[in-house]
Amino acid sequence: MAEEILKLSAVKLREEIQKGNITPTEVVETFAKRIDQVEEKVKAFVTLTVERAYEEAKNYDGKGKLAGIPIAVKDNILTYGVRTTCSSKMLENFVAPYDATVSEKLKKEGAILIGKTNMDEFAMGSSTEFSAFGATRNPWDLERVPGGSSGGSAAVVAALMSPISLGSDTGGSIRQPAAFCGVIGLKPTYGRVSRYGLVAFASSLDQIGPFGRYTEDVALLLEVISGHDPRDSTSAKKEVPAYTEEIRKPIKGLKAGIPKEIFELGLSGEVKEIFEKWVESLKAEGVEVETVELPMLKYAIPIYYIIATSEASSNLARYDGVRYGYRTPDYKDLQEMYTKTRDEGFGAEVKRRIMLGTFALSTGYYDAYYLKAKKIQRLLYEDFIKAFQKVDVILTPTTPTPAFRFGEKLQNPIDMYLSDIFTVSVNLATLPAVSVPIGLTKNNLPVGGQIIGRPWEESTILRVSRAWEEISNFSQWVPEL
């Protein structure tokens, strides 16, 4: 019975609760027990809120699209009254004084917060190894990283510790860990979801998005968190489609493009093989496949690391020991207080980004780096828009390789940055994209396929995800723990 509940989709779980076959308290109990069993191995949570979850389950009133459903939330999204650390020493004891808009929406729809998930510090990284509280492990192979920065949110879903979760994606932080952990992860169009209460990394690229094992759950969660928010001026005044209905439309006749550049940018043999097989399966379902060109794709990583670090250097200036979180205990004057606070509060990767960004924005370099990057970003966007005149979706592998081992990419930051080669371009071009499990390697490691859509066409990419889910039954691919 417990096993069955853990494996149900959130949508089905909600139906069972509504029918009276199971109570929300029993649901919380089932997931709490699972957490007790496997969290010690996976280490996906920074903070557990199980006690609170029981309280909420007790107060269940049946209202809302997620009534009685447990959810885990990345620890850079504010949750009123609960610690929000960004996996940084800087915010180790920071208790959120208000809810992010997405947290408010989850509450309104009756979702039950079960915990806050581990991440790379301030969402900078691709492995969760940069968490100040220790790395999360990949549930498929505990010797390997779960990806990042939303590694915790991907791992909890893969390890059946929560049916759904939220992450944030600036350059791949939802899709890359989803691929490494064998779950679905969706990065919405920029402006689809309010960023109010999301701790800022690179504000022009950050988006919150859902994780799940079933397309219907990802669609439902996206439906709940989307929409205009007067408190985030970059959120769009656009109607939110009924994604849960939209995903049922067939995919026959849909046109898919494969960028020819992906094969030139480094793709491991097995990932390439699995990707090609996936494309063949979609063809068999009536998807028409052709090659498209994205000539600017090869600049995506350098542009991203200039724009993202520039914005980060400015956003992280607020952690000065005065306004939030950590302050060094010993200092002789204000200047020393600032310097020591930042030196002690931030980890190495965050410092690296602040230095890179500060350099790129400094007088004399601004035109050569930041401005140039912004221009190429525009050209990259135009490449995509041009391709989308011919095709409805673009397909790539989510990552060039499956999950790597701990420490493998720590010595060389560029190596780590390259694991996002297929994802960062999507943020730079503001587009929606979803990563879905497309196969398992011989070593039993999941491989992800990325489906990129036109701006605001989350429905279309989810339709492909849903059709593929039906063919492959990937929702039942669960690691043994």
Catalytic residue among 103, 131, 149, 313: 149
Shorter beta-carbon distance to ligand GLN: residue 172 or 188: 172
Interface with ligand GLN in residues 306-345 (CB under 6 A): 308
Encoded one letter per residue, x for contact with ligand GLN by CB under 6 A and - for no contact, window 28-67 reads: ----------------------------------------
C-alpha 405/C-alpha 443 separation (Å) is 13
Candidates 126, 226, 430, 475; binder of ligand GLN (CB under 6 A) is: 126
Candidates 103, 173, 244, 313; binder of ligand GLN (CB under 6 A) is: 173
Q: Is residue 268 annotated as a catalytic residue, yes or no?
A: no
Candidates 29, 169, 216, 457; binder of ligand GLN (CB under 6 A) is: 169
| Backbone φ and ψ of 70, nearest 5° | -70, 145
Shorter beta-carbon distance to ligand GLN: residue 201 or 275: 201
Burial status of residue 19 (CB atoms within 10 A of its CB: 0-12, 13-18, 19 or more): exposed
Of 256, 284, 477, the closest CA to residue 387 belongs to 256
Q: Is residue 281 annotated as a catalytic residue, yes or no?
A: no
C-alpha 433/C-alpha 97 separation (Å) is 32
Shorter beta-carbon distance to ligand GLN: residue 75 or 169: 169
Interface with ligand GLN in residues 189-208 (CB under 6 A): 201
C-alpha 127/C-alpha 406 separation (Å) is 8
Three-state DSSP state, 430: coil
The four Cα atoms 228, 230, 236, 238 give a dihedral, to 10 degrees, of 40
29-58 residues labelled b (16+ CB within 10 A) or e (exposed): bbbbebbeebbeebbbbbbbbbebbbebbe
Catalytic residue among 9, 43, 65, 74: 74
Catalytic residue among 162, 173, 194, 435: 173
C-alpha 45/C-alpha 116 separation (Å) is 6
Shortest gap between Cβ of 124 and ligand GLN (angstroms)?
Answer: 5
Candidates 57, 114, 123, 403; binder of ligand GLN (CB under 6 A) is: 123
C-alpha 42/C-alpha 158 separation (Å) is 10
Shortest gap between Cβ of 314 and ligand GLN (angstroms)?
Answer: 15
Shorter beta-carbon distance to ligand GLN: residue 38 or 77: 77
Q: Number of residues in contact with ligand GLN, rule: CB under 6 A?
A: 13
Shorter beta-carbon distance to ligand GLN: residue 160 or 431: 431
Nearest position to ligand GLN, beta carbon: 173
CA 340 to chain CA centroid, Å, is 32
First to last CA, the chain: 18
Candidates 64, 139, 172, 182; binder of ligand GLN (CB under 6 A) is: 172
Shortest gap between Cβ of 427 and ligand GLN (angstroms)?
Answer: 7
Q: Is residue 459 annotated as a catalytic residue, yes or no?
A: no
C-alpha 231/C-alpha 399 separation (Å) is 34
**Residue ranges in contact with ligand GLN by CB under 6 A:** 123-126, 149, 169-173, 201, 308, 420
Q: Which residues are catalytic?
A: 74, 149, 173
